[in-house]
């Protein structure tokens, strides 16, 4: 049992964190993302799988990628993923072998 997926963030997690952070703190970023998610995400040169899980609102995969949970939480609320949907996606990982690295 652990509280965290990564005890030191990986570069992959850092890259995803940066997207979620800027999206909800920089003026006009959320609007740009909502207008054209692909164009917005292309600014960050993310690995494709990370861009895909952000664009697809794949909360479980974002969690497993080591994203900071507070940024993930703010993102779920900020892009209006329904509360019960994000909760169910996270809960589905409870017995996943990759959850907090076992």
Residues in touch with another protein (CB under 8 A) = 1-4, 6-9, 14, 17-18, 21, 24-25, 30, 59, 63, 68-74, 76-78, 83, 86-87, 90-94, 96, 99-100
Copy the structure tokens of residue 55.
Answer: 């664009």
Q: How far is the CB of 42 from another protein (least distance, A)?
A: 21
**Residue with smaller CB distance to another protein, 2 or 39:** 2
* DSSP string covering 35-74: H-HHHHHHTTT--HHHHHHHHTT-HHHHHHTT--HHHHHH
Using a 10 angstrom Cβ sphere, with 0-12 exposed, 13-18 middle and 19 or more buried, the burial of residue 16 is buried
Q: How far is the CB of 53 from another protein (least distance, A)?
A: 14
Q: How far is the CB of 10 from another protein (least distance, A)?
A: 11
């Amino acid at each position: 049992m652990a509280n965290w997926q990564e005890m030191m963030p990986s570069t992959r997690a850092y890259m995803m964190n940066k997207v979620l952070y800027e999206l909800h703190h920089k003026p006009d970023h959320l609007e740009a993302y909502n207008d054209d998610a692909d164009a917005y995400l292309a600014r960050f040169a993310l690995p494709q799988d990370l861009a895909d899980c952000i664009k697809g609102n794949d909360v479980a995969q974002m969690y497993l990628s080591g994203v900071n949970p507070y940024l993930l939480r703010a993102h779920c609320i900020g892009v209006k993923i329904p509360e019960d949907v994000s909760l169910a996606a996270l809960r589905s990982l409870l017995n996943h072998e990759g959850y907090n690295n076992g």
